[in-house]
Structure 1
Amino acid sequence: MADESTDLDQNQKASTGDKHKTEVETPDAKRTKIKTETSLDEANEDIRDEKQSTRQDVKQESEDSKTEIKSENGTTDATKADTDIPSSILEKGIIYFFMRGRVDVDKPEEVGDIARTFIILRPIPQDAKLSEGPLTDAGNSRILILPKKVLPANGRERFMAFVEKSGASYDEIKGQFLAGEEYETKTKGTRHTPAATPIGEGVYAITTTGRASHLVYMITIPEKLGEVQKDLGVKERGSFIISTKNPKYPSPASARLPKDPAYPKKILEEFRDLRWIPSQPNHLDYDNAQVLLIGESSGFKRALELQEDDDRAHKEEPLEEMEELEEKDLKRMHQLSGDHSAAIYADLKVHAEDYPKLQTTF
């Protein structure tokens, strides 16, 4: 795991839209401008040059179109026609946002007190409907680390992130990423690494618009964003262009990892000689995979546009699919016992009393 005491940059401005509104962006005066990595400027050129279609059909045909079967996450409704699933949604699932304070800082009072921010992505099958109660442990969660600690707010901000752990179980999330620890040093004695603090939960989708991939999300908890969420760039509805880095090319010195992702030959061939390609869900299934997140100040609806082929096939609108998922998740989280913090921890099979409460103010 990367050194949690590394301070890679200053705070940056964040914005948040009203629930179910994406055009209006309100700047937050508390975030300061963050310099982008100039060595990443080639990303846009490579993305524009990418002509390979990334559209893929992730819905497989059911043998019995009138049988309802139980999935690992709830109920899979096989009576729903295959054509209803928009092919532009490559993956969907539950997203969690966490932050961890610096050594000996249990409750951060500003962004500078944060050692790192990370995202947990928990995919669910394309045709699954969220059932009541916590999700079962499928052992397929991914932990993404954000070295900048904040999310990019607009197209001028492009920040690297990397997969710290893929295929993570709830026990691994609890033991390796959420829990705090104490350790001894020769000069300062006992030091304390604080437990991770939740700052949000919601639903997400990885989508394709043909020549670019997007990571879009809708926040379920907290229902009203606070100062912490705004300063870290978490919005009620947010989206980023997401591209995967070709491990063949070196990373910037400030974003270099000790190991490259162990991509199979098939994925390596997708890169050809490009530095970046639109991210596919399976790219995130490898530890040390590096991705570039480019902010979209008003791109949420664009990232969920119905593609031409899906329109002709009368498929469901991707936005409607996401809103339905959000509604089911909101109902599900309300049914979990306790407050917002307890609901998030219950969903991850963690005892809430052992960890910090969800933080909304500094």
Structure 2
Amino acid sequence: MGQGKEVKTRPDPQVEIQERGEIFFFYRPKVNKEEAHSVDDVQRLYIVMRPESGENPVEEKQDPLSGKEGSEKEDSEEDDNKSSSSGSKKGGEGGHGVEKVNIEKQILLRFIVMGKKSLPDPSKKSQPFWGFVELVTTNVEDVKEALKGEEYQTKTQGHRHKPPARAVGEGIYRILRHKPTPTRKHHTHLVYKLEFPSRTGEHEPQESMNIEPEGSFLIQVRNPEQGKGGRGSGFRGLKRKRKAQFPAHLQAHLGHTRFGAADPPDFLNYEGCEFLLISASDDIEAELGMELEPDGEGDESSCDLVKTFGDDVDATPLLRGTWD
């Protein structure tokens, strides 16, 4: 599929493209459930982003030697007893550390955990949903590991089975800088358009989790040096030791604000980066004056998610638009 292309539908759409890439959506059924038959059976919603080009082909990411890349745990202060380790275990929290990655030549993957098991409802404008970056890696195997199931023991409930994640969406995305005006502050959008599942047929899992055929969200990065909460989202956030540790030049962009624009997108290349997705529109063209066009033809042979993750991920919801 690749990163697709964008087509301007207005002479001046007032947006600048910061980053282009592929986006994948996954869900994990609840503990001890082998399958999900409705959103009530879903434990987690995940997003995987693969940036492929942008304003700067070389992006900064957290150095794996900092001790955070591939680190364990998938919890927050508001939900730290509902999930166990996820991702490969390469040590505890670490320092800043910066690694340069040319996203046009090397794979870069962000594994994102959403605080709720759906995206914000596009019909409820300005609705904020919290999420955080759990894993940033140049190794596909790290993400495969994070998506796997697991058997583990707890002191109170004994043996537990965490089922593997299922693929539920594939598309292209853009991170956009919306040009400021006298009445509009500097902000960024995350917009996407799905290629899988196809527009025809069933879409029950996607509809249940508000994974619309296309969508636009304001994306705001939380300042790890400021207080808790914000925008009525009702979250307490990650524990202090799990918060992102941005290098000084990135932290300076946030200043003393509690939330700032995802500008540059390198913010999302640091594990523990917390953000808000705020519903804006399910019609990118009407809102921003541009359309996204995937490269593929919509047939299964062009599905990059299957090519990337192979048989390690159940792709039935993705390709058929049905639950397991």
1:218 alignment partner, one of 159, 184, 193 = 193
1:146 alignment partner, one of 114, 124, 131 = 114
Q: Distance in 1 between matches of 2:33 and 2:150?
A: 12
Output the amino acid matched with 1:356.
D
Output the amino acid matched with 2:269.
D
Q: Is 1:274 matched up with 2:257?
A: yes
Counterpart residue number, 2:227: 250
TM-score of the superposed pair, with normalisation by structure 1: 0.62
User: How far apart are 1:167 and its partner, in Å?
Assistant: 2.8
1:335 alignment partner, one of 277, 301, 310 = 301
Q: Distance in 2 between matches of 1:168 and 1:87?
A: 29
User: How far apart are 1:332 and its partner, in Å?
Assistant: 8.1
Matches within 5 A, 1:1-362: 88-126=16-54, 138-153=106-121, 154-175=124-145, 177-186=146-155, 188-210=157-179, 211-224=186-199, 226-252=203-229, 254-258=235-239, 259-280=242-263, 281-298=265-282, 300-301=284-285, 304-305=288-289, 318-319=290-291, 322-323=292-293, 326=294, 328=295, 330-331=296-297, 334-336=300-302, 344-346=305-307, 348=308, 350-352=309-311, 354-359=312-317, 360-362=321-323
Report if aligned partners of 1:242, 1:293 keep a CA contact under 8 Å in 2. yes
Q: For this pair of structures, how many residues does the alignment match?
A: 246
Determine helix, strand or coil for the equivalent of 2:120. coil
Q: Distance in 1 between matches of 2:28 and 2:187?
A: 31
Counterpart residue number, 1:35: none
User: How far apart are 1:269 and its partner, in Å?
Assistant: 1.1
The alignment's C-alpha RMSD in Å is 2.8
Q: Which has the larger radius of gyration?
A: 1
User: How far apart are 1:118 and its partner, in Å?
Assistant: 0.6
Q: Distance in 2 between matches of 1:179 and 1:102?
A: 13
- Structure 1 residues without counterparts, runs of 5 or longer: 1-72, 75-85, 128-134, 306-317
1:231-287 Cα deviation digits (max 9, x unpaired): 100111111011111112233384421222110111111112211111121110100
Instruction: Looking at secondary structure, tell me which structure has more helix per residue.
Output: 1
Q: Distance in 2 between matches of 1:136 and 1:345?
A: 21
C-alpha spacing 1:137/1:189, structure 2 compared with 1 (3 Å): farther
C-alpha spacing 1:356/1:107, structure 2 compared with 1 (3 Å): same
Higher relative contact order (CA 8 A, sep 6+): 2
- Give the percent of matched residue pairs that are identical in Structure 1 and Structure 2: 28
Report if aligned partners of 2:148, 2:164 keep a CA contact under 8 Å in 1. yes
Q: Distance in 1 between matches of 2:154 and 2:128?
A: 36
User: How far apart are 1:334 and its partner, in Å?
Assistant: 4.2
Q: Distance in 1 between matches of 2:287 and 2:131?
A: 20
TM-score of the superposed pair, with normalisation by structure 2: 0.68
Output the amino acid matched with 1:169.
N
Q: Distance in 2 between matches of 1:199 and 1:89?
A: 26
Output the amino acid matched with 2:193.
M
Q: Distance in 1 between matches of 2:224 and 2:285?
A: 31
- Structure 2 residues without counterparts, runs of 5 or longer: 4-13, 56-102, 180-185
Output the amino acid matched with 1:221.
F
Instruction: Looking at secondary structure, tell me which structure has more strand per residue.
Output: 2
1:48-99 Cα deviation digits (max 9, x unpaired): xxxxxxxxxxxxxxxxxxxxxxxxx79xxxxxxxxxxx97110010000000
Determine helix, strand or coil for the equivalent of 1:192. strand
C-alpha spacing 1:156/1:88, structure 2 compared with 1 (3 Å): closer
